[in-house]
Structure 1
Amino acid sequence: MIKRYTLPEMGNIWSEKNKFQKWLDVEIAVCKAWNKLGKIPDEALKEIIEKTHIDDETVERINELDKVYNHDVLAFVSAVAEQVGENGRYIHLGLTSSDVIDTALALIMRESLDLLIKDVEKLLEVLKENAFKYKNTVMMGRTHGVHAEPMTFGLKFALWYEEFKRNKKRLENAREVISVGTISGAVGTYSNIPPELEELTLKELNLKPEPVANQVIQRDRHAEYMTALAITASSLEKIAVEIRHLQRTEVLEAQEPFKKGQRGSSAMPHKKNPITCERITGLARVIRSNSLPAMEDITLWHERDISHSSVERVILPDSSIALDYILNLTINVLKDLVVYPENMKKNMDKSKGLYFSSKVLVALVEKGLSRDQAYDIVQRNAMKAWDTENLMFKEALLQDPEVMSYLSKEELDKIFDVNEFLKNIDYIYNRVFGREYS
């Protein structure tokens, strides 16, 4: 992922240096296991642990050897073995490349998910805070982009909060699924290493053994990681698109923060564009599209090929880095979101009270009319109000003798109380926030 969209902590997790460090962690865990099984002497193990390391110079040496070997694992093994000397021969004993790569990749993905889960937890805090902050901020609910019935702005945040509880669970499930390793040798048959070595190694790394691995950990696990990221990114895009709509000049009910000194357009100095939310949308598309090759990676030839390898070098770091980035962008947007309750009220008035039509319909049916009769009466007056300048829906109803033969003015006044739409908000909040709500 390009530096522009890379935050330091996640960038370090997916750095080349950390990759080699995780490879070394696996190799040392294997050496410790061999030592317990009597294969590597104590002094040799001590020297391996003390002398092997990954720094910038080691990374440079690995890359230098890779240009000769055209095999990064062998280049890595040679580079760290050089640090030890004669006892370096014990490093990578009995292993195949996938034992190291796949087990280390599980460590990196787990580390990555730990950070992403923390990001989601921070976002949940902001969503909850805004849900309660705007719990009673009345606005127009829209369906098909058209005014429907009143709701509150806080309900949007409650809905997103509930969705991100599911996203957190998806990421936690993915963490469980990818936290496996394999130390089983070529085609996974333990031909040069005992199964006990795998048990000891993975216990050291706090990973579970892949029950059957052939030569690689099966890529349905990695696909689950990627789809969890893709769904989470899509949820972020949903929030971003909503804000982009609400920021439109003719709507202007909410607006992403615009910092002091920020400039919106090279040509039009008046512009405040929703560029952050648009960036969230764009990177969500990248993450989502990367989930498809992850699923295609599930199908490998026989016991192993490396068609997945080049794909994963791109999609795993890029998607993890991008999701970390847009999660933090969303947190920042929502923390400082600019909200215009007065515009919400003005926009509601543009409907001329037509959103009460459903309640008038129900009231007429309760008076004994058939649904079709009631619908025709309400629709007739709704269209009259819509097509007549300065005529509100309620006034149209009051002027209709047929309506007034069934409903009194007092009954209409009660029907046209916006709070009737909001009477069950507490019920919804209790379901979402549980005992935390009071």
Structure 2
Amino acid sequence: MLLEPGTERSGGITDDRAVLQAMLDVETAWVRVQHRLGLVDDRVVTAVTTAAEADRHDLAQIARAAEDGGNSVIPMLASLREILHEQHTADPSDAVHSVGQGAAVDLDGAVHRGLTSQDVIDTALMCIGARALDALGASLASGADALARLAHEHRRTVRVARTLGQPALPTTFGLTAADWLTALDDVRDELADTRGSLPVQCGGAAGTLAAIEALAPGRSLEAADLLAEELGLASHGRPWHTDRAPVTRLGDVLVRTADAMGRIAADIVLSARLEIGELRERPAEGRGGSSTLPQKQNPVLSVLVRSAAIEAPHLGAVLHSAAGLAVDERPDGSWHAEWGPLLRLVRRVVVAAAQLDEVLSGLVVDVDAMRRHVDEVGPALVSERVLTTVAALPNGAAAVAALRPVLRGRARARHLTPLLRAYLPEAVLSDADIEDLLDPLQYLGATEPLIDRALARHDARPDARPDARPDAPEHPDSSQGET
């Protein structure tokens, strides 16, 4: 956490305790499946559920012992069985047994039977992924709502559109916010699709379900489906021990989300520079300062979101490298290589989404600075319109030839008007026509329909809250100060 600021925002979703609990949840769900198949009684389910609480286990000891078997399932099972034994010793009258194959089986023998370590870890990681996507979706929904409000409020707040770092045309901050909104709504759709497809892993030692079939003849595939149902995951229809598409699919949607968030954060960081000053993060006590420079007010949350976006593709690349090296019926190292990058990717993106939500919910928009930059660029910002319009007029070709070098110099309107008049008499182009021609608000293209389209799509979502948006100012382009 010291070198990953904001980790606490993840709610511990990927920490060691969460991973242990997810594995224990898989074992408990598998016992419930056995109960539904008639292989164990109620008391087995109750005993395992009680013992499968992460806080009852020595996490550090399980972690130390994981090296001996190459994964943490083996020591986790030893700990679980030890706790079950202690429970039974404390109450020997509670003769909890299972009834597999017509013979009594000790309670701890019912735990994990038919599964393999990869079944437990893969399924636990899918459970963690599902919880992460739920948290991620909530943060993005809140951030998207904030963007919808900004798009609505600033639909005619004019600003400079920049291409290749240079002023290009007039646009509005409302369209910028709508563009960001569309990107977040896109990834929210992808997150929902991925969330619904995260599968359970249930194949036994070599993906044949042999031990499960022996426990419940003719019902092994049903058992796998029941496990998915118990855990709220999808049923893949088959084991996927060496088909790592579920892992890479989860990784890919996380990277896509990081991309969308990173682009927004990058725009905010750039716009927060003093010489631009169009956007700022909402001030918070103790945030954004420097260890040596008292005047600094850094956009730290946006910076942290950018850092996650920079790292995420490389973590996703490890998952794809591992997927391409999975061999035989169970991978020999490539599977193990997934765990760290996947958990880090989940954590980084979940934290970044929470940070971005806070940024967008309190974003300070300086409409004066936006208008000032429009005025600084001058008529050059509408040069496309000026040249196109003038070229179609009588004597327009000569006027265009004279205008081009002046516009390259970002001429002021007061310089451009006499030049236009020198080539085009008032009968051809009146003073009112010139004023309209040079007005950036008259060359905003389809900005408002594009904003409306983004808002309509957002408002059509089941969780939309359009009623939470205030009415837009009648003329927000003339507003003073910040919002």
Q: Which residue of 2 aligns with 1:134?
A: 154
In structure 2, relative to structure 1, the CA distance for the partners of 1:217 and 1:203 (3 Å cut) is farther
Q: Which residue of 2 aligns with 1:434?
A: 456
**2 CA distance for matches of 1:43 and 1:222?**
35
Preserved contact between residue 6 and residue 322 of structure 1 (Cα < 8 Å)? no
1:97 aligned partner, one-letter code:
S
Preserved contact between residue 202 and residue 239 of structure 2 (Cα < 8 Å)? no
Q: Which residue of 2 aligns with 1:83?
A: 83
Q: Does 1:155 align with 2:190?
A: no
Preserved contact between residue 84 and residue 107 of structure 2 (Cα < 8 Å)? yes
**1 CA distance for matches of 2:52 and 2:440?**
71
Preserved contact between residue 380 and residue 410 of structure 2 (Cα < 8 Å)? no
CA offsets 1:331-359 (integer angstroms, 9 cap, x no match) = 22223323222222221122231223222
Q: Which residue of 2 aligns with 1:95?
A: 115
Identical amino acids, percent of aligned pairs: 24
Match of 2:399 among 374, 377, 389: 377
Using structure 2 for the length normalisation, give the TM-score. Answer: 0.81
Q: Which residue of 2 aligns with 1:230?
A: 255
2:206 aligned partner, one-letter code:
V
Q: Which residue of 1 aligns with 2:355?
A: 329
In structure 2, relative to structure 1, the CA distance for the partners of 1:64 and 1:151 (3 Å cut) is closer
Match of 2:201 among 172, 182, 191: 182
Q: What secondary structure sits across from 1:149 in the alignment?
A: strand
Matches within 5 A, 1:23-38: 23-38=23-38
**1 CA distance for matches of 2:232 and 2:412?**
71
2:138 aligned partner, one-letter code:
K
Higher relative contact order (CA 8 A, sep 6+): 2
2:197 aligned partner, one-letter code:
V
Q: Does 1:296 align with 2:321?
A: yes
Mark the runs of 5 or more structure 1 residues left unpaired by the alignment: none
User: Shift in Å at residue 302 of structure 1?
Assistant: 1.6
Q: Which residue of 1 aligns with 2:40?
A: 40
Mark the runs of 5 or more structure 2 residues left unpaired by the alignment: 86-105, 214-219, 460-465, 472-483
Q: Which moved more, 1:391-400 or 1:159-168?
A: 391-400
Q: Which moved more, 1:289-298 or 1:402-411?
A: 402-411
User: Shift in Å at residue 161 of structure 1?
Assistant: 0.4
Q: Which residue of 1 aligns with 2:130?
A: 110
Preserved contact between residue 263 and residue 269 of structure 1 (Cα < 8 Å)? no
User: Shift in Å at residue 46 of structure 1?
Assistant: 4.1
In structure 2, relative to structure 1, the CA distance for the partners of 1:306 and 1:358 (3 Å cut) is same
CA offsets 1:112-143 (integer angstroms, 9 cap, x no match) = 11111111101111111111222221112122
In structure 2, relative to structure 1, the CA distance for the partners of 1:39 and 1:430 (3 Å cut) is same
**2 CA distance for matches of 1:176 and 1:322?**
21
**1 CA distance for matches of 2:22 and 2:287?**
41
Q: What secondary structure sits across from 2:294 in the alignment?
A: coil
Matches within 5 A, 1:273-288: 273-288=298-313
**1 CA distance for matches of 2:355 and 2:314?**
20
Q: Which residue of 2 aligns with 1:316?
A: 342
In structure 2, relative to structure 1, the CA distance for the partners of 1:273 and 1:7 (3 Å cut) is closer
**2 CA distance for matches of 1:358 and 1:315?**
48
Using structure 1 for the length normalisation, give the TM-score. Answer: 0.88
User: Shift in Å at residue 364 of structure 1?
Assistant: 2.9
